[in-house]
A and B are shown apart, each in its own frame.
Chain A
Amino acid sequence: MIIRYFAWIRERLNRDTQELDLPNEVKTVEDLLHHLRETDEDFAAVVPPETTIRLALDDELVELDTAIGAAKEVSIFPPMTGG
């Protein structure tokens, strides 16, 4: 799975993409966030649980309980500020 980071999350992590093999117990987007916080100190520091973030699976906005399923890419970013 490819993970893409945007805006200040990307800057503070100092990376824009990452490739990761997901363990079987990671089923939902929320599971993925837990997994990242447990296995990646930088992610845990930059994106603690109280951070307001938004998520997309293969270009579609999703909620925390959305199943990752066959998605190839997850994007993690702060609330959007376009327009």
Chain B
Amino acid sequence: MSVKVTIQAEMFDAGALVNQFTHDLPEAGAVTTFTGLVRSTPDKPIEALILEHHPTMAQKQIERFAQDAIERFNLLAIQVVHRFGEMKVGEPIVQVMAASHHRQAAFDGANYVMDWLKTDAPFWKKEVGPQGTDWVDARETDETAKEKWTK
């Protein structure tokens, strides 16, 4: 039952992370990976994101969600990497990987960690676009996504 959380400014290789994660898990029959990317849409084109964070609290909060997920879904391992600082469109922001004996727990584990992370991990996104910079507003749908786990 291992939890590993890394908060870093550096870019990461999404595929290499998964390969490394699964390498030492002979019992795992299932691994899910969620990778969140910086996106730009035609309605609101952006060039980059700047993520501000609260370092000590972010580390503790994500470790807590990951540990909760391990216990709740009986996972073998969870690893989370979350970046801060400036990142360009198309670059990865966050990656959550969950390993379990069977698929459902791995799907649920990664989903659970992401749902909590969106609303309760101290990161704030600022978009950098042609018209300047703009703090991203929190979304109501992120709050309701989290609520399904409290039922």
A residues near B, CB below 8 A? Answer: 4, 6-8, 10, 56, 59-61, 75, 77-83
Q: Quick one: which of B56, B60, B114 contacts A83, CB cutoff 8 A?
A: B114
- Contact, CB under 8 Å: B121 / A80: yes
Q: Which of A10, A59, A60, A82 contacts B123 (CB 8 A)?
A: A82
Q: How far is the CB of A50 from chain B (nearest CB, A)?
A: 15
Let me know if A83 and B94 touch, CB within 8 A.
yes
With a cutoff of 8 Å between Cβ atoms, the chain B residues found around residue A77 in the complex are: 54, 122, 124
**Chain B 77-97 per-residue mask, 1 if CB under 8 angstroms from chain A, else 0:** 000001000000000011000
B121 touches A82 (CB 8 A): yes
Assuming A4-B54, A56-B54, is B122 touching A82 (CB within 8 A)?
A: yes
Cβ B123 vs Cβ A81 within 8 A: yes
B120 contacts A80, C-beta separation under 8 Å: yes
B117 and A81 within 8 A (CB): no
Query: By CB atoms of chain B within 10 A, which of A56, A59, A61 has the most?
Result: A59
B47-58 interface code vs A (CB 8 A; 1 in, 0 out): 000011110111
Residue in A6, A56, A81 whose beta carbon sits within 8 Å of that of B138 in the complex: A81
Is the CB–CB distance between A61 and B120 below 8 Å? yes
Complex CA distance for A6 and B121, rounded to whole angstroms: 13
Query: Cβ of A82 and Cβ of B53 under 8 Å apart?
Result: yes
Q: How far is the CA of A4 from the CA of B138 in the complex (A)?
A: 20
User: Does the CB pair B124–A6 fall under 8 Å?
Assistant: yes
Check A82/B125 contact, CB under 8 A, given A8-B135, A59-B60, A61-B120: yes
B39-67 CB contact bits vs A (8 Å, 1 = yes)?
A: 00000000000011110111011000000
What are 12 A-B contacts with C-beta separation under 8 Å? Answer: A6-B52, A6-B122, A56-B57, A59-B56, A75-B122, A80-B118, A81-B125, A82-B51, A82-B82, A82-B93, A83-B117, A83-B118
Using Cβ atoms and an 8 Å threshold, which residues of chain B touch A59?
54, 56-57, 60-61
B120 to chain A: which residues have CB within 8 Å? 61, 80
Which residues of B sit under 8 angstroms from A7, Cβ to Cβ? 52, 124, 126, 135
